[in-house]
Amino acid sequence: MAQQIHVNAFEMATPGHINHGLWRVPGNRRTQYKDLEYWTDLARVLERGLFDAVFLADVVGTYTTYQGSRRAALRAGMQVPNIDPAFVVPAMAAVTEHLGFAVTSTTTYEPPFGHARRLSTLDHLTNGRLAWNVVTGYLPDAALNYGLTEQVKHDDRYAIAEEYLEVVYRLLEGSWEDDAVVLDPAGPTYTDPDKVHEIGFEGRYYTVAGPHLSEPSRQRTPVLYQAGTSSRGKAFAARHAEAVFLLPRDDQQGREEIADLRRLAVEAGRGPRDVKAFVGAEVVVAPTQAEAEDKVAVLQEHRDLEGHLVLFSGWAGIDLSGDDTDAFLEYRGGDAMQTFERMWSQGEGRKKVGELVQHLSRPENDSRFVAGTPAQVADRIEELVDTTDADGINLIQHLSPGTFVDFVDLVVPELQRRGRYRTAYTPGETLRERLFGEGVRRPLPGHPSNAFRTAALDQPVG
Ligand SMILES: Cc1cc2nc3c(=O)[nH]c(=O)nc-3n(C[C@H](O)[C@H](O)[C@H](O)COP(=O)(O)O)c2cc1C
């Protein structure tokens, strides 16, 4: 039987995330990204559609590569202004019972101790529905906001991330024993002091004494997402990621990247399916082809091409505003996202600046884009997932919440009819159980966090 397809909603608390200029489309609620009601309404739509989770992207800087300035990003509302996604999660959790929440946070700037508490806090408040999208951060000016004078080098960011995760694992998995909280009214004893341990971590980048401040949540370590496919990025994902998010150039590249990730996970002592793969998908759906085409025309009419050039320039670290549109993109192994720098500067995808600008001028140019009837869209999603050997999709939006409402009303029933989509949530399951099966609340054996479980620590510290 064909596997069920996992579906996340790809979101960001900002006017323009992936598709730009669309805040002007009548009925699109993008300008309400800072209103609680926007998020609670969205959460109800996604839970009605039985989505796995909402994936909340985030950046802690602005896009300054395009034209060497952030002016175009500000003009377009291109990922600025924005608000901290962690703060919308409790509100969404309060109006839902099952929907998961993947929150992006960088390992390069904010120290791990405070972040580990934030993770426990959100996993408690969501009753075990939290995921963390572990990013290292690719925007040059972010570093200047955190006391640094320049961007941290690409591979150094991953080295920091390795140590960062070890600290987080020690705090979440190794500081509090499962039965530390005893609630003994006779004592009276709330917590058994012998069951809470300092971590006494001294590393190259961090020194953290501990103990962690929060008692264990249902998942302890939230589900770990990651989204980097440079060689350093893949090595990191193969060790730590439980889910990887990819935006491949085409299905073939997606298939190659996912196969490589699974191979590297096995080399890292894990199972090939211990890493779930999610590929990006862009969907415009309507009862008829003609209506779908009308919707695409509205999107095209409002598309802010410069917004897309700003985004890609920031992603790849290549300024697309240059006049020499006949020049080929050059791969330099820069400090932004090497995945995207390589994607359009090497091999089959190699393009001239002008060709890439042309490519970015219409949504249909992206292999992940599909517009049509529910059956046509379901065909493409099945093909995308089956060809790439992915486990699911991250649904990229055009209209908020229009894209998701259409998907829930028109595509979900079609995928259910084909047996490719759940028809109900499993009551009380954690997000990790949704991905890996009933009872799997903690990372699977072979995952590096297991080495730091209290039981695994031969000599509890402190
Ligand atoms: C689909 C996708 C979503 C991403 N979302 C974010 C994000 O929200 N915030 C962020 O700082 N980086 C984000 N990244 C960047 C990655 O975390 C990573 O830094 C990037 O892919 C570079 O990795 P690489 O150089 O190993 O290829 C995303 C990357 C991809 C592919």
> Nearest C-alpha to atom 11 of ligand 1 is from which residue?
137
Find, among 198, 255, 62, 215, the residue nearest to 140 by Cα.
Answer: 62
Low-confidence ranges of the chain (pLDDT < 50): 458-462
Q: Which atom of ligand 1 is nearest to the CA of 137?
A: 11
CA of 245 to the centre of ligand 1 (A): 9
CA of 146 to the centre of ligand 1 (A): 19
What are the tokens at 157?
A: 């960011």
Using CA atoms, how far residue 264 sits from 221, 245, 275, in Å, is 22, 16, 10
Neighbouring-strand partners of residue 372: 285
Q: Which atom of ligand 1 is nearest to the CA of 233?
A: 26
What are the tokens at 18?
A: 């992936």
CA of 334 to the centre of ligand 1 (A): 14
Task: Ligand 1: list residues with CB < 6 Å.
Answer: 57-59, 104, 106, 135-138, 154, 227-230, 232-233, 245, 247, 280, 337-339
Q: Which atom of ligand 1 is nearest to the CA of 226?
A: 17
Tokens 């409402």 belong to residue:
405
What are the tokens at 69?
A: 């300035």
- Contact between 173 and 221 under an 8 Å Cβ cutoff? The reply is yes
Q: What angle do CA 221, 224, 228 make, to 5 degrees?
A: 150
Tokens 């997932």 belong to residue:
385
Find, among 186, 277, 185, the residue nearest to 225 by Cα.
Answer: 277
Q: Residue 46 is which amino acid?
A: L
Task: Look at residue 456 in the predicted model and tell me its pLDDT.
Answer: 57
CA-CA distance, 289 to 376, in Å (whole number)?
9
Query: From the CA atom positions of the chain, what is the Rg in Å?
Result: 22
CA-CA distance, 155 to 232, in Å (whole number)?
7
Sign of the alpha-carbon dihedral angle for 219, 222, 223, 224? negative
Task: Look at residue 461 in the predicted model and tell me its pLDDT.
Answer: 39
Please write the tens of the pLDDT for every residue from 64-115: 999 999 999 999 999 999 999 999 999 999 999 999 999 999 999 999 999 9
> Nearest C-alpha to atom 14 of ligand 1 is from which residue?
227
Name the residue of 11, 56, 104 whose CB sits within 8 Å of the most ligand 1 atoms, as the mutation to test its pocket.
104
Q: What angle do CA 354, 358, 362 make, to 5 degrees?
A: 165
Q: Which atom of ligand 1 is nearest to the CA of 231?
A: 26
> Nearest C-alpha to atom 21 of ligand 1 is from which residue?
228
Find, among 180, 7, 173, 13, the residue nearest to 82 by Cα.
Answer: 13
CA of 78 to the centre of ligand 1 (A): 16
- Contact between 353 and 312 under an 8 Å Cβ cutoff? The reply is no
CA of 193 to the centre of ligand 1 (A): 40
What are the tokens at 121?
A: 């806090």
Domain-by-domain residue ranges, the chain?
A: 6-456
Pick one of 2.60.120.330, 3.10.580.10, 3.20.20.30, 3.40.50.620 as the CATH number of 6-456. 3.20.20.30
Task: Look at residue 224 in the predicted model and tell me its pLDDT.
Answer: 98
Burial class of residue 203, CB neighbours in 10 A (0-12, 13-18, 19+): middle
Which residues, including other chains, have CB under 8 Å from residue 139's CB and lie 6 or more apart?
A: 59, 60, 61, 62, 63, 64, 151, 314, 336
Name the residue of 55, 232, 278, 337 whose CB sits within 8 Å of the most ligand 1 atoms, as the mutation to test its pocket.
337
Output the 3-class SS for the chain: CCCCCEEEEEEECCCECCCCCHHHCCCCCHHHCCCHHHHHHHHHHHHHCCCCEEEEECCCCCCCCHHHCCHHHHHHCECCCCCCHHHHHHHHHHCCCCCEEEEEEECCCCCHHHHHHHHHHHHHHCCCCEEEEEECCCCHHHHHHHCCCCCCCHHHHHHHHHHHHHHHHHHHHHCECCCCEEEECCCCEEECHHHECCCCEECCCCEECCCCCCCCCCCCCCEEEECCCCHHHHHHHHHHCCEEEECCCCHHHHHHHHHHHHHHHHHCCCCCCCCEEEEEEEEEECCCHHHHHHHHHHHHHHCCHHHHHHHHHHHHCCCCCCCCCCCECCCCCCCCCHHHHHHCCCHHHCCEHHHHHHHCCCHHHCCCEEEECHHHHHHHHHHHHHHHCCCEEEEECCCCCHHHHHHHHHHHHHHHHCCCCCCCCCCCCCHHHHHHCCCCCCCCCCCHHHHHCCCCCCCCCC
